[in-house]
Chains A and B, each alone.
Chain A
Amino acid sequence: MANAERVQEFVEAFGSLKGEVGKIIVGYEEVVTDVLVGLFAGGHVLLEGVPGLGKTLLIKTLAAGLELSFSRIQFTPDLMPADIIGTNIIQEDPEGRRHFQFQKGPIFGHILLADEVNRATPKTQSALLEGMQEGSATVSGISHPLPSPFFVLATQNPIEMEGTYPLPEAQLDRFLFKLRVTYPALEELNEIIDRTTRARETEVRRVMTGPEVLRFRELVREVPIAAHVRDLASLIVMATHGQWEHAPDVTRRFVRYGSSPRGAQALVLGGKVRALAQGRYNVSVEDLKAVARAALRHRIILNFEGEAEGVDVDSLIGDVLEQAEAMSRRGKEVFLR
Chain B
Amino acid sequence: MADAGVLERLVAQVGWQIRRRRAEFYGLRGLFYGAILGLVPLLLKHAVGPAAPLIALGVALLGAAAGALRGLTLPIPAADAARLADRTFDLQDSVATALEWGSRPDRSPLVDLLVADVTARLQDLDGRGVVRRRWPRELRLLPFPAVLMVLLALAPSIPFPAGRLPVFSSSDDAETPEERGAKVLTENRPKAAKREPLQHAEIMERNLSARGGATGGSQPGDLAALFKDTALAAQRPDFQSFLKKGDERLRMLEQVDRLPDLKRDFTQSQYKMIFQRRKELFGGLRPDQISPQKLRELLEEMQRMGRKGGDWGGDIGEGMEGLESGQTDRAMEAMERALSKMRAMEERGRGGRGLRGGREEGRRGGRGADRGGSGSDMDADFGEGEGLLPGKGRNPNPKGDPTERLRGNPFDAGVEGEARSGRKEGYDTNLLGKGTNVPSRLQYMGVFGQYRKMMEEAMAREQVPRDYQSQVKEYFESLEERR
Residues of chain A touching chain B, judged by Cβ–Cβ distance below 8 Å, are: 3-4, 7, 161, 166, 219, 222-229, 256, 280-287, 303-305, 307-308, 332-336
Are A3 and B112 also in contact (CB < 8 A) when A282-B98, A335-B131 are? yes
Question: When the two chains form the complex, which single residue of B92, B101, B108, B134 contacts A335, counting CB atoms closer than 8 Å?
Answer: B134
Within 8 Å CB of A166, what residues of B?
466
Report yes or no: A281 in contact with B18, Cβ–Cβ below 8 A: no
Are A226 and B456 also in contact (CB < 8 A) when A4-B113, A307-B469 are? no
Within 8 Å CB of B77, what residues of A?
336
Within 8 Å CB of B460, what residues of A?
256, 303-305
Minimum C-beta distance from A77 to chain B (A): 17
Residues of chain B touching chain A, judged by Cβ–Cβ distance below 8 Å, are: 18, 21-22, 25, 74, 76-77, 79-81, 83-84, 92-94, 96-98, 100-101, 107-114, 117, 131, 134, 456, 459-460, 466-467, 469-470, 473
Q: Indicate the member of A225, A281, A284 with the most B CB atoms within 10 Å.
A: A281
Minimum C-beta distance from B184 to chain A (A): 49
Report yes or no: A3 in contact with B134, Cβ–Cβ below 8 A: no
Are A224 and B111 also in contact (CB < 8 A) when A333-B74, A336-B18 are? yes
Report yes or no: B93 in contact with A284, Cβ–Cβ below 8 A: yes
A-B contact pairs, 9 of them (CB 8 A): A219-B110, A224-B108, A256-B460, A283-B97, A304-B460, A332-B80, A335-B22, A335-B84, A336-B77
Question: When the two chains form the complex, which single residue of B80, B83, B84, B101 contacts A224, counting CB atoms closer than 8 Å?
Answer: B101
Q: Known pairs A161-B467, A224-B97, A307-B469. 10 more at Cβ < 8 A?
A: A166-B466, A224-B101, A224-B111, A227-B79, A280-B94, A281-B110, A284-B92, A304-B473, A335-B134, A336-B84
Q: How far is the CA of A304 from the CA of B97 in the complex (A)?
A: 42
Question: When the two chains form the complex, which single residue of A222, A307, A335, A336 contacts B110, counting CB atoms closer than 8 Å?
Answer: A222
Report yes or no: B117 in contact with A281, Cβ–Cβ below 8 A: yes
Report yes or no: B459 in contact with A304, Cβ–Cβ below 8 A: yes
Minimum C-beta distance from A182 to chain B (A): 22
Report yes or no: B21 in contact with A335, Cβ–Cβ below 8 A: yes
Chain B minimum-CB-distance residue to A333:
B74
Report yes or no: A281 in contact with B96, Cβ–Cβ below 8 A: no
Q: How far is the CA of A278 from the CA of B109 in the complex (A)?
A: 18
Chain A minimum-CB-distance residue to B457:
A304
Q: How far is the CA of A28 from the CA of B137 in the complex (A)?
A: 49
Are A7 and B110 also in contact (CB < 8 A) when A281-B94, A335-B134 are? yes
Within 8 Å CB of A224, what residues of B?
97, 100-101, 107-108, 110-111, 114
Minimum C-beta distance from B476 to chain A (A): 9
Report yes or no: A227 in contact with B100, Cβ–Cβ below 8 A: yes
Report yes or no: B466 in contact with A282, Cβ–Cβ below 8 A: no
